[in-house]
Amino acid sequence: MKTSSKGIDFIKSFETLRLKAYKAVKTEKYYTIGYGHYGPDVEPGMEITENEAERLLAEDLADFERCVSRSTAGWNLKQCQFDALVSLAFNVGVNAFQNSTLLKLVKQGASEYVIRNEFGRWCHSGGRVLPGLQRRRQAEADMYFSCVKESIMGKFPEISPVFLILFMLATSCGPGKHLPAQTEHRDSVSVEVREVTKFIRDTVWMQIPIQSAENTTRDTSSHLETDFAESDARINPDGTLHHSLRNKEQEKPVPVDVPTTQKDSIVYRDKFIYETIEVERDLTGWQKWQMRSFWILLSGLLMFILRKPLLALIRRFI
């Protein structure tokens, strides 16, 4: 089996034509040139023409085609599958491909999910994941399953539409075991608002003005002072006592009760609600067949789609 032109173009799109030797990853042992030609025959500074690159690609492809053909002998690969495996072998090498878990899964007829996941594991180079390899593995997996999906409907073009029509007729109007019925509830809404007045203890600051008072007496001298006022007394030349009292300017806290009003509301609900409930009923013979046929046709469709993996599984135990 040979790689198709589509497969060759696919490999070229990822390998990219390089007419001068280079190392894609510094840790690689040998240099690469042309369309991914890698090996000891490529020397540093080597240059080739485009025709020489095409010749090297054809020689390399022949080696990898033989490798894939031998590794999958007895397994009827489709062209898209063969192209995808050749692209992978071309990129990872013959030994890595022949010893890969992916090849074993292909021979076992593993599911699409498992094979796609195994394609995605081949994305490391130099001990790290390369985004370019991730894109290539994704594209190879898509190619591997492209013609497989096309053949599911393509092999039986006249049977598949009929099968789908029967499937829809048998299941699209499938009956239920219950009938809808309507019931009525009364429900309405009313709101009651209540007001409650409460007194909250608070503090008011009162301004005390400056006040003074004087008195003359024949008593002895004195001096008085508190936090709110001060007093001075003196004996006048005529023998009288002059006494003065003066308040200190300040603010004095006075406790008061401040009234506050709080509102609360109570909601009462009383209105009509229409609700649909299900009532059981007996099914006719045709309706019972419709319910059973859904699972029968679904099982047949799944077996048709998964026929290859199932056959491969059966072969393992025969």
Helix (H) or strand (E) holding 221: none
Assign residue 239 a region: left if phi > 0, alpha if psi is -120 to 50, beta otherwise?
left
- 148 alpha-carbon distance from chain centroid: 30
- List helix spans (H) across the chain: 5-15, 50-71, 79-92, 94-98, 101-108, 112-119, 131-154, 159-171, 285-305, 307-317
Q: Please give the torsion angle defined by the CA atoms of residues 1, 80, 301 and 105, in that order, rounded to the nearest 10 degrees.
A: 80
Please report where in the chains the tokens 């190619």 appear, as a residue: 143
Dihedral angle sign, alpha carbons of residues 15, 19, 25, 29: positive
Give the SS3 label for residue 281. coil
The values of phi and psi at residue 157, to 5°, are: -65, -30
Active site residues per annotation = 15
DSSP label at residue 40:
T
State the DSSP H helix or E strand holding residue 209, giving kind and residue range, or none if neither: none
Query: How remote is the C-alpha of 86 from its chain's centroid?
Result: 34
Q: Which of 2, 89, 93, 100 is nearest to 39 (CA)?
A: 93
Parallel, antiparallel, or unpaired for β 273-280 and 212-217?
unpaired
Question: From its phi and psi, is residue 111 left (phi > 0), alpha (psi between -120 and 50) or beta?
Answer: beta
